[in-house]
Amino acid sequence: MPDRRQSVRDKVLYGGVAEINERSSTMDCVVRNISQRGACVELDSAGTLPGEMNLTIARKGRSFLARLIWRQANKVGLALRIMTSDRPVDDLDERLRRSEIKKRQLQHRIKQLLGED
């Protein structure tokens, strides 16, 4: 199956919280991979999630408004629509984030050119 993602995802293992029902309910989760536009999240029960939720990743200090794209057993694919940060991101954090994104894009392009993708 061809990968339809518009940006390369990083494999990660972050703890997260899915906030549903306008933050009145929460579910702990594990973020398995993430990019600027999406994430794969593992939950105890993916069957009870609504179409939209907030995803908070404390380690990154960021929250996202997320839309459910797919479900498979206890994993879900989320499209990250809007980032809402609970704390201001300083200039160094922002520059590092942009640098990491550019590195991933270049690595992906190198793989394409070498025919590994």
- For 33-91, the pLDDT digits (tens) are 999 899 999 998 766 788 999 999 988 888 899 999 999 989 999 999 877 755 554 56
Question: What's the whole-model pTM score?
Answer: 0.64
Superfamily of domain 1-86 in CATH is predicted glycosyltransferase like domains (2.40.10.220)
What's the CA gap between 36 and 80, in Å, rounded?
7
Q: Are strands 10-20 and 25-34 parallel, antiparallel or unpaired?
A: antiparallel
**Where on the phi/psi map is residue 116: left (φ > 0), alpha (ψ -120 to 50), or beta?**
alpha
Question: How far out from the chain centre does Cα 115 lie?
Answer: 27
Query: What are 85-112's pLDDT values in tens digits?
Result: 555 545 666 777 788 888 988 999 999 9
What is the residue extent of each domain of the chain?
1-86, 89-117
